[in-house]
Amino acid sequence: MSREQAIAYATGYFDDGSFLQVLGERVAHRTESQASDSLPALQAYLDGNLIPAFEALGFTCRCVPNPVPERGPFLLAERIEDPSALTLLTYGHGDVVHGYDAQWQPGLVPWTLTVDGDRWYGRGTADNKGQHTINLAALAQVLRARGGRLGYNVKAIVEMGEEAGSPGLAEMCAANRDALRADLFIASDGPRVSAARPTLFMGSRGSANFTLSVKLRNGAHHSGNWGGLLRSPGIRLVHALASIVDERGQIRVAGLRPPAIPPAVRAALASLSVGGGPNDPAIDPDWGEQDLTPVERVFGWNSFEVLAFKTGNPENPANAIPGHAYAHCQMRFVVGSDAAHFLDRLRAHLDAHGFTDVQVSPYTSFMEATRLDPDDPWVEWGTRSIAATLGTAPVLLPNLGGSLPNDVFADILGLPTLWVPHSYPACSQHAPNEHLLGSVAREGLQIMAGLFWDLGDEGERIRAARQAR
């Protein structure tokens, strides 16, 4: 058999309706990890669907309880052909966000896969059931084309809590580090840069969420009697925020800014553009770091965001000076940022500017930034493989603008990480009317079949070349 035959098998799997049927069965599982009573449904997805699918391909499977109580389990699967051979680790998540059933457009139900032209609607179609279904199906077609042997080992992690912040993933991987030992990580999540442009990214920006608050007194006091005499927590907090970011969103605190964009990263971003899709918001060209391009701002720099701000009662304002105000804030940051000391730097800045009354909470959630060197041999291999399949090179992103738990795989497990997304920016993930594009899914099956085939032909050589660097 040949590489071309493996890709033809993957294409046929889509064209004959097999992919549609399997994805429909997976979408039907109501795996809302953010729901308090979701554990039985999360376990049922693994037991009733994914474990049989992995076992049919010769994997041995075991479920690992989450070290965080009342959180979704993990599936660990492995297919070992030769313990000394190259080993691939892959990943997906079977949980989804809330369905928001009543908010979908007429005729659509989040738990029923509905095809409308190129759009395949259903919760999890884009994030992440559709994506790990593509990868597992492509692996199956390569096994078929190679007569039942890949020429390398495969290990897989499926988590059931990514949409709840991946609780326990880091602890589970640390505890199972030997069992998860591998040479390369390839997985799929997140969007391409656009539907028409296949994408390869090697990490993600980090995210750090925290709260700034001002509490000056208990209760509110009549603004007619006390206005001009009592400090306003809302005004204090507004000015504190204005000292952190300027009027165009540029970060003013040196300790929250990243180092200069590395030349290899800048070169990789030079030919890219963002936005412009039919459902994309219009980009504000005068927002963000002034000396950077829009692409560099989102993929190569840090941003400070105010996610929510409250003082008083916005829904029913009273003629009173509130006693407190708070802002939920977020840092998105790239590799090289001093994220471990962001809050210390912020505290020192606020004190130095007279905002000692502004309190800084500990992180409410945190995900580290990761980025594989664009010059890594595995990146060159992945780019070349996708180009050989499609006839055109993919967009190469040093890191995704959003955040994924890639730090677990890159830092805890120490792996070079390649992500090949099969979604697109306007897929409505996390919102009503989530959908996968059939055309992108078909192309994704071809891409992954090519990658999994090429890993058998070239993986050992790439591993040796990387070790020799």
Measured from the Cβ of residue 115, the count of other Cβ atoms closer than 10 Å reads 14
Identity of residue 421 = P
Element (H, E) at 384: helix 377-390
HSE, side-chain direction, 13 A CA sphere, residue 58: 13
CB contact set of 324 (below 8 Å; sequence gap of 6+): 213, 214, 215, 216, 233, 311
List of domains in the chain: 3-204+369-467 (3.40.630.10), 207-258+302-367 (3.30.70.360)
In our burial notation (b when 16+ CB lie closer than 10 A, e otherwise), range 4-13 reads: ebbbbbbbeb
CA dihedral 367, 301, 242, 280 (to 10 degrees): -90
DSSP state of 69: T
d(CA 155, CA 188): 15
Sequence length of the chain is 469
**What pLDDT was estimated at residue 77?**
98
Element (H, E) at 365: strand 365-367
pLDDT tens readout for residues 16-54: 999 999 999 999 999 999 999 999 999 999 999 999 999
**What pLDDT was estimated at residue 271?**
84
Per-residue tokens: 197: 């442009």
**What pLDDT was estimated at residue 402?**
86
d(CA 302, CA 300): 7
**What pLDDT was estimated at residue 469?**
81
HSE, side-chain direction, 13 A CA sphere, residue 424: 24
**What pLDDT was estimated at residue 277?**
73
Residues of the chain with pLDDT under 50: none
Are 211 and 361 a contacting pair, CB within 8 Å?
yes
Per-residue tokens: 438: 């059939």
d(CA 420, CA 24): 22
CB contact set of 342 (below 8 Å; sequence gap of 6+): 208, 255, 256, 331, 333
* Alpha-carbon distances of 434 from 38, 45, 101, 176, 195, rounded to whole Å: 20, 20, 11, 34, 15
pLDDT tens readout for residues 369-427: 999 998 999 999 999 999 999 999 999 999 999 889 999 999 999 999 999 999 998 99
